[in-house]
Amino acid sequence: MNTELLQQVVQGFGIQAERAVFDPVKHGYINDTFILKLDGKAAYVIQRINHHVFQDPKKLQENIDKALKKLNGKDYLKIDFLKSINGSTLFQIKNTFWRVMRYIPDSTVYNNANDEIIAFEAGLLIGNFHKLMAGENVNDYHVTITDFHSLKFRITQFQQALDYADHLTLMDAQEEVNFAFSTIPKFKDLDLSLLPHRVCHNDAKLNNMLFDSQKKGLCMIDLDTIMPGYFHYDLGDAVRTVVNPASEDETDLSQIEFRMDLYDSFMNGLKDSGLSLLNEEIKVMPLGISYMPFLHGLRALTDFLNGNIYYKVNYAEHNLDRAKNLFQFTKLAVEYNSILTDKTQLFD
């Protein structure tokens, strides 16, 4: 990324650019993120919004601004976005879209929990987030990516990608393609018709949660996909990342685990938040926990078949490796389905 552009952006937010040093943040498959340091100290987080993925950055930022009015409380830290010189939290320059968040000192993100305290706090954070959003009217929020977590839509994209892919690519992905076809029917009973829409985070994985240096959960970050959804979307993303000690990029599949101790801690945190869920939402929890990793695996596989046009990749088979990884976790979650079902009684 060219520094001159970054400097113009920060000036657009009224920050003196001469002293600024920009550190790219490497994780994230969509946007470009930088920590802006002043005198060696992290001061702001700057993000360029990928407007190929988020086609209407203005609506996205409107959702965030609206949600942030609610997302603060005793147990939930408020995030602060700067207003640009144009008075909006979104700043456009040469068809690029930017926003700047104040850096929260002594805060940290974890890529893997591996720790019961973090797992508990993650559950608490998801619960607190949803408690704070519970009074919101979902119709006041824009749908910024249509059908984002719709399996039906993701299957259609997958089938189109299969038609498009060449023979060699298909051979490479044969096992994962077969897994996808054999697993899709498992979700036919996921009945959405009785579930309430909630304003969801929609990317509620562990590394989108901020913690303080004492491992206390502070708030959710990366709010781009805040929009209507179902509770199990956020639950599924949180669980797949909290209970698994391996990252989504891990290629050694033997490292992938579904740790029940971490799951229990997470669920205890969720319960302690006092979030009230409908019986129907509780009922779909176990299936939701395999649904999300499957959906993400299918998306990664689709992108591999398409020649890596959506996610950022570090090497040609990166998306395929991510699909293998996410499908491996899906297998474990499916295997544990009945155990998880027994455990949902905790919520009754």
Write out the residues near ligand GN1 by the rule CB under 6 A.
28-30, 53, 203, 205, 222, 225, 248, 296
Cα–Cα distance measured from residue 245 to residue 258, given in angstroms and rounded to the nearest whole number: 8
53 binds, among Mg ion, ligand GN1, none (CB under 5 to 8 A by kind): ligand GN1
Q: Two tokens at 149?
A: 């977590």
In this complex, which beta carbon is closest to ligand GN1, that of residue 265 or of residue 302? 302
Looking at residues 179 to 208 of the shown chain, list those that interact with Mg ion (rule: CB under 5 A).
203
Instruction: Output the six-digit token pair for 225.
Output: 């996909």
3-state secondary structure of 315: coil
Distance CA 306, CA 169 (A): 9
Chosen from Mg ion, ligand GN1, none, partner binding at 29 (C-beta under 5 to 8 Å by type): ligand GN1
Q: Contact 263/243 with Cβ under 8 angstroms?
A: yes
What is the DSSP track for 142-181? --SSTTTT-HHHHHHHHHHHHHHS-HHHHHHTHHHHHHHH
Residue nearest to Mg ion (CB): 203
Choose the contact partner of 84 out of Mg ion, ligand GN1, none; CB within 5 to 8 A by kind. none
Interface with Mg ion includes 121 (CB under 5 A)? no
Closest C-alpha to 19, from 2, 44, 36: 36
Which two structure tokens, joined as six digits, stand for 133? Answer: 């959003």
Alpha-carbon separation of residue 334 from 31, 90, 233, 248, 341 (angstroms): 31, 41, 16, 18, 11
- Smallest distance from the beta carbon of 125 to ligand GN1, in angstroms? 16
Single out the segment in contact with Mg ion by CB under 5 A; choices: 121-129, 182-190, 222-230, 334-342: 222-230
Q: How far is the CB of 28 from Mg ion (least distance, A)?
A: 7
From residue 155, alpha-carbon distances to 147, 295, 301 in Å are 11, 9, 11
State the nearest-atom distance from the C-beta of 150 to ligand GN1, in Å. 13
Residue of 121, 222, 234, 321 that binds Mg ion (CB under 5 A): 222
Nearer to ligand GN1, 17 or 35 (CB): 35
C-beta closer to ligand GN1: residue 222 or 234: 222
250 lines the binding site for Mg ion (CB under 5 A): no
What is the C-alpha to C-alpha distance for residues 301 and 317, in angstroms, rounded to an integer? 10
Least gap, CB of 177 to Mg ion (angstroms): 26
In the numeric block, which tokens belong to residue 258? 């579904």
Binding site for Mg ion (CB under 5 A): 203, 222
